[in-house]
Amino acid sequence: MKLSGARLLIEELIHQGVDTVFGYPGGAVLQIYDELYKCKDRIHHVLTAHEQGAAHAADGYARASGKVGVVIATSGPGATNLVTGIANAYLDSVPMVAITGNVATEALGRDSFQEVDIVSITQPVVKHNFMVKDVTELEQTIKEAFQIANSGRKGPVLIDIPKDVQISECEYGVAVLPKMPDKPKLPYDQEGVIALLSQAKKPLIYAGGGITAAKAEKELIALAEKLNIPVTVSIMGRTAFPDSHPLSLGLVGMHGSYVAAKTQSECDVLLALGVRFSDRATGNIARYTQNCKVIHVDIDKAEIGKNISPDYSVQGDVKKWIKEILPKLKEQKHPKWWEEIHGFEKTKSKVEGDFHPKHILETLRKYTEDDTVVATDVGQHQMWTAQYYRFEKGRTFLSSGGLGTMGYGLGAAIGACFGRKKAHTVLITSEGSFGMNCNELCTAVHENLPITIILMNNRVLGMVRQWQTAFFGKRYSETVLDRSTDFVKLMEAYGGKGFNAKNCKELEDALKEREHYNGPILINCSINPDEKVLPMIPPGKSVDDIIL
């Protein structure tokens, strides 16, 4: 069957199981968009307000659904507008295929209108990228792109397709995807790992995004229960283990709980599953593992030994590893260790005021289900959400962990909505982050998406201001947002519903209105600008230096 390159692309996307793509049209992708129009009953295109929003939507779709997210943009500024979203997906290991158009092959390298070398630009922030100059290579390239994006340590792949390749024709259905070669793995001392776990007096599990990526939440529960080991989680692994489980100690790291941080500092064996030991999680590297042995399990060879030198390392899929080792482990109890941990639980940060973010999130939780997806932007509200919102199921917390992208949240919430068949989705944001991509409200309204936006409005750049308070002598340089933006009117201008809330009753009243409305709503919650995210372990410090 002979098809044009553009039609071949759409047919192969459908063949790969893609039901939704996000993007913005332009001259270099007109052929692709023409074919999308012809196939709109088979694949849904979501028109965003900006290419960055489209990239974040593809990211959110992938995180919420576990499938590959797809984004399309034109050449030049359309392609470069994707870069932040691609980099965000790369640092958080999110499977994404970004498709860009480009000028015709004969015009490449001549500074043609809207020409950029997007392949070179994205090289540091993709798993792989392709420039397709021959239409006969397109089908094979698309198949490989999806395989690369969704295998091993997942991540984004870019395909750049010149205009003439989109028009040219070739046979479709002839490409055969070769089996990916097995990469040599690091040697693994299974007996040593089993012995160390069996001999541990104060073991601890540290779970990260690798658990979510491998869909290993059930296996993690089984492992923790058999060994009766406490579990801490990273930001990226926030939903790897249910908060209501008695073995859960919650978030660890710069803004994690005291009990999680203290337990980590006192443990004698740390079993790290699918984590990369980022600086925000470890604090002072030299002191981080000075009292314990470390077992590090990760699918990415490059992460083994990069930040922490483990005593035992296992390179491989964490789900398969748990299934393999679980029958060989004996049940443990550790009563003395748990008695010590319960003592740590008595130390907590004080929560003051009637409308503290903790109260906002606890009120919100009464109106959400365990499988409701919650997206955040970046800042204080992100950390408060990770601290105080109760998560019970995997893939329900979407946040920019590695790149820390302000403006990520709304696009991600839109993508998650489609990834979960337009199920109710929540965005927690603040006026600083929200202002960066609030134009995507038009997308949420146009698609009539049931998104609840909780905007924590403290009229400052809260996290930066908190650091200025702690480390810069309260010199608040450019962090006071003395603007007069009326976010309720802004929401209404886009066609949605908006509410103001200054206390929990007003918040509850607004959330009750949500139940009678299918489209997006925004609740502007006024909070104290001096509110801080606590506990906090300062950069390069340890739990001994924690600020409560």
Q: Which residues are catalytic?
A: 51, 113-114, 163, 463
CA count, 13 A, side-chain hemisphere, 63: 40
Specify burial of residue 330 (Cβ count, 10 A radius: 0-12, 13-18, 19+). exposed
Report the first-to-last Cα separation within the chain, whole angstroms.
Answer: 67
CA distances from 70 to 6, 10, 148, 194 (A): 15, 11, 14, 41
Using an 8 Å Cβ cutoff, are 186 and 301 in contact? yes
Residue 249 belongs to what H/E stretch? strand 248-251
Query: CA-CA distance, 313 to 272, in Å (whole number)?
Result: 10
The DSSP call for residue 68 is P
DSSP assignment of 408-448 equals -HHHHHHHHHHHTTS--EEEEEEHHHHHHHGGGHHHHHHTT
CA dist 483 → 149, 479, 486 (Å):
42, 11, 9
User: What distance in Å separates the CA atoms of residue 342 and residue 227, rounded to the nearest whole number?
Assistant: 18
E-assigned strand segments in 264-384: 269-273, 293-298, 312-315, 373-376
Cα(68)–Cα(32) distance, integer angstroms: 19
The Cα 281–Cα 297 span in angstroms is 16
Residue pair 463/380 in contact by the 8 Å Cβ criterion: yes
Report how far residue 286's alpha carbon sits from residue 245's, in angstroms, rounded to the nearest whole number: 31
Strand, coil or helix: what is 524?
strand
Angle at 297 between CA 180 and CA 236, to 5 degrees: 90
CA 16 to chain centre: 22
Largest CA distance in the chain: 73
3-state helix, strand, coil in the chain (%, to 5): 40, 20, 40
Reading the block at residue 306, the tokens are: 């990069």
**Residues 6+ away with beta carbon under 8 Å from 393:** 217, 239, 242, 370, 371
How far apart, in whole angstroms, are the C-alpha atoms of residue 423 and residue 65? Answer: 12
Regarding beta strands 156-162 and 96-102, do their DSSP bridges make them parallel or antiparallel, or are they unpaired? Answer: parallel
Nearest 5°: the CA angle 431, 56, 214 is 120
**3-class DSSP state of 511:** helix
